[in-house]
Every structure is written in structure tokens, then in C-alpha cells.
């Protein structure tokens, strides 16, 4: 008997649980800062992967 495992399927209840856990662990006031940090990290990773230098970074102002 084969077992089929479907990964990557996230339903609405899983999203609610993730958001509730995030609010519990981080707190409502820290979430915007957390999302900003994640976005900056993803941007830096993408730029490093592509070999691009970020033009508007604090180290390299226009």
C-alpha cells in the first residue's frame, strides 16, 4: 500500500495557527519590525546570489 504525502498544502486553519503563534511569540508591536527584517534579509540574499550590489544601501548612498 502506497502512502501519498502532499507537502506544501497550507489551509486556512494552518494560517490561523501560524499567525496566532507568531503573535504569541513575538507580540503585535514587533511584527512590522520582524517583517521588515525578513524582507531586507531576502533582498540581501537575492542580491548576493545574483552578484548585484544594492545601489541605495546605507553604505553606498547615491
Cα distance between residue 10 and residue 26, in whole Å:
22
Per-residue pLDDT, 24: 86
Per-residue pLDDT, 62: 45
Q: Which of 22, 43, 42 is nearest to 32 (CA)?
A: 22
Per-residue pLDDT, 23: 85
pLDDT (tens digit, 9 = 90+) per residue, 1-56?
455 566 677 788 888 898 888 888 878 788 888 889 999 999 999 999 888 765 55
Q: 37 near 30, Cβ under 8 Å?
A: no
Amino acid at each position: 500500500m502506497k502512502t501519498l504525502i502532499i507537502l506544501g498544502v497550507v489551509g486556512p486553519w494552518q494560517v490561523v495557527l501560524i499567525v496566532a503563534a507568531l503573535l504569541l511569540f513575538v507580540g503585535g508591536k514587533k511584527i512590522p519590525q520582524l517583517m521588515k527584517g525578513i524582507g531586507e534579509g531576502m533582498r540581501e540574499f537575492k542580491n548576493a546570489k545574483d552578484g548585484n550590489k544594492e545601489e541605495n544601501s546605507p553604505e553606498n548612498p547615491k
